[in-house]
Structure 1
Amino acid sequence: MSPIIPVIFATLSPVILLIVLGFFLREKNFLPETFFTQLNKLNYFIGLPSLLIAKLGGAGTNLGAVLPLIMSLIAATFFAVIISVMIAYLVKSDKAEKGALIHASFRGNLAYLGLPIIIYFFEGKTELHGFAAICLAPLILLYNTLAVFFLIIFSKKEQKISPKIFIGKLITNPLLIGCAIGTCLSYSSISPIALKPFELVGEFALPSALIALGASLRLDRLKGKLLLPGIASVIKLIITPLAGYLIGFYIFNLSADHLKLIMIFLATPTAVASFVLAEQMDSDTDLAATSIVLSALLCFIPIAIILAL
């Protein structure tokens, strides 16, 4: 047996089990629906920002060293967008379906799934944890900007959004605030003891975020036509991480660990936020919901392959 197999199993098995636990806790009504809503809120506003502060503040991240990773991630995301736009016009789809297809093809679940897998797999490698955390900020900005742009263009109704409101929502995003605070602390002489509370809250955030993610998955949404969600999942789980590998290896000459890091992020399933935004922007919610569930069910196959590289 290859020595990497036990490592992959040790990394992915707790992630999968926690997601399954969250799914069954909600499915069997063991806990009220409001519990998972509040747990998700706690993670989004407190848990994950604390984790980012702890990882960035204690890593002394070199922004120059992480820049090639960020550029690789951005380039691969734009590649996914270009491919999905082309396919959206090639296949038979209405305006709302085009927007939902494009959105589902590039927006990954970075904080709730990508970050835990990276932290578990690269256990003890604090520099890589810091690199992963700092990569989140530009990707969150990019994802939100592209999502609003395409969902406005392909909305069923004419949509208008105030630039002031949009920018306000971006700069008050808790994950971005956590990245900003952590980055500032990484350049200070703050004592590790001062970061301990953030570490403790962050340690809670990892498993609870996975439970909340599992609770958000609803198999009853896996219905209707699967062609477009299937296309979105192939782009998201296979084409995008492959593009990231080629860009990172041939253009930015990334190391093996750095390539794995960006590919894990790029192979994460479609973010649950894509369904919420599809509702708000009058896009195709059925396509968005089906893409989320389908990509979540399939994502561990490419992620396991990436970890084995």
Structure 2
Amino acid sequence: MNAEALQHILNIISPIFIMIGLGAALKAWNFITDDLAEGLNKLVFWVGIPVFLFYKIAAAEKSFSDVLNLYYVVMIGVGVSILAALLLSLVLKLDRPSKAAFLQGSFRGNILFIGLPLAVFTFADQGAGKIEEIEELVLLSISLLTPSFNLIAIFLLVSTTSKIDIAFPARVVKRLIKNPIIISVLCGLAYAQVFDSIPLPVERSCRIIGQMTLPLAILSIGANIVASRGASDFNTAFLASLIKVAVGPAAGFAAIYFLFDMQYEQQVIAMLLLACPTAVSSFVIAEQLGANKNLAAAIIVVSSILAAGSTAGVLYLLQ
């Protein structure tokens, strides 16, 4: 790798991980208190991201058919990651709560808070028009991936930690319809079918909220890493993290090479989404559904460290 290529890759990934580090430092120094961190999480999850997604989906010029191959590539990577994690969990003879956290942590990436800004920074030097196009592609992909990830995570966690009973489908549906990201996508799609455009004051308000959301989300990731660290499960967490940031992207790369004819931009987006670290939300759902929350926290920490290398590797392979 020559110096110019290395500098280009560092220019893309370093702002994200510097912001994560800043969030972690602010939390460690108590500039971000527990109450503030919780408030930021709620603001981003319940207001910022839903408004941003609604606006982008409602105003999108592209459709879901434009990102189907991208979706398939990511889901192939996810499927291979889950299979690898399942086999390794049997070898490690993990107990049921640890197995549940291990399986979820090996596939559920932070595709919105890390994947989106990484993709935008990758093409930032090509102008505002290209950035808008990349944002549309990523958000349309996330709109398909989010319900898929939720379904898979809930199934793996519940089936691993407890028996699936007749009420299981109802619990899954209830959790999905209460997800603000899924609600915002459905509202955006409905709006686009009925109206031709978004009123200018609403559009500008949504833009401002969108510009606020991603920096706050990335800072929150760093704060949450400090708040939920779990070093006692490091060895197991390292293996799950390695599957997340290495096995998944390798499977996705093979799918792109052998199975799908994709535009360069979509190849980069798919690989970056697969190389993202484990989502912080995996800790919350692990705690709620009886998985090993300490292991879930450790996977978030370790995968966030390893993801700096995996995202750089992806960008190098596809440059």
Under a length normalisation based on structure 2, what TM-score does the superposition of the two structures give?
0.89
1:130 aligned partner: 136
Identical columns (%): 28
Task: Note closer, same or farther for the CA distance 1:303–1:294 as it changes in structure 2 (3 Å cut).
Answer: same
1:48 aligned partner: 49
Residues 96 and 284 of structure 1 are in contact (CA less than 8 Å); yes or no, is this contact kept in structure 2? yes
Task: Note closer, same or farther for the CA distance 1:220–1:208 as it changes in structure 2 (3 Å cut).
Answer: closer
Distance 1:254 1:56 in 2: 22
Distance 2:191 2:11 in 1: 32
176, 190, 195: which one aligns with 2:197: 190
Under a length normalisation based on structure 1, what TM-score does the superposition of the two structures give?
0.91
C-alpha RMSD of matched pairs (Å): 2.1
Structure 2 regions of 5+ residues with no counterpart? none
2:257 aligned partner: 249
- Off by >3 Å, runs of 4+ in structure 1: 1-7, 157-162, 181-188
Residues 21 and 211 of structure 1 are in contact (CA less than 8 Å); yes or no, is this contact kept in structure 2? yes
2:289 is the counterpart of 1:288: no
Letter matched to residue 30 of structure 2: N
Distance 2:239 2:219 in 1: 27
Give the SS at the match of 1:106.
coil
Residue-pair matches, total: 308
Shift of the alpha carbon at 1:203? 0.5
Give the SS at the match of 2:93.
coil
Give the SS at the match of 1:224.
helix
Structure 1 regions of 5+ residues with no counterpart? none
Residues 102 and 295 of structure 2 are in contact (CA less than 8 Å); yes or no, is this contact kept in structure 1? yes
1:56-135 aligned at under 5 Å gives the runs 56-123=57-124, 124=128, 125=130, 126-135=132-141
Give the SS at the match of 1:271.
coil
Residue deviations 1:11-47, cap 9 Å, x none? 2222122111111111111232111111110011111
Task: Note closer, same or farther for the CA distance 1:249–1:185 as it changes in structure 2 (3 Å cut).
Answer: farther
Give the SS at the match of 1:108.
coil
2:21 is the counterpart of 1:20: yes
Letter matched to residue 311 of structure 2: I
Give the SS at the match of 1:179.
helix
Give the SS at the match of 2:106.
helix
Residues 61 and 186 of structure 1 are in contact (CA less than 8 Å); yes or no, is this contact kept in structure 2? no
Task: Note closer, same or farther for the CA distance 1:56–1:307 as it changes in structure 2 (3 Å cut).
Answer: farther
Shift of the alpha carbon at 1:252? 1.5
Letter matched to residue 86 of structure 1: L
Distance 1:268 1:42 in 2: 22
User: Which piece of structure 1 moves more, 109-118 or 295-304?
Assistant: 109-118
252, 258, 261: which one aligns with 2:269: 261
Between Structure 1 and Structure 2, which shows a larger proportion of helix residues?
2
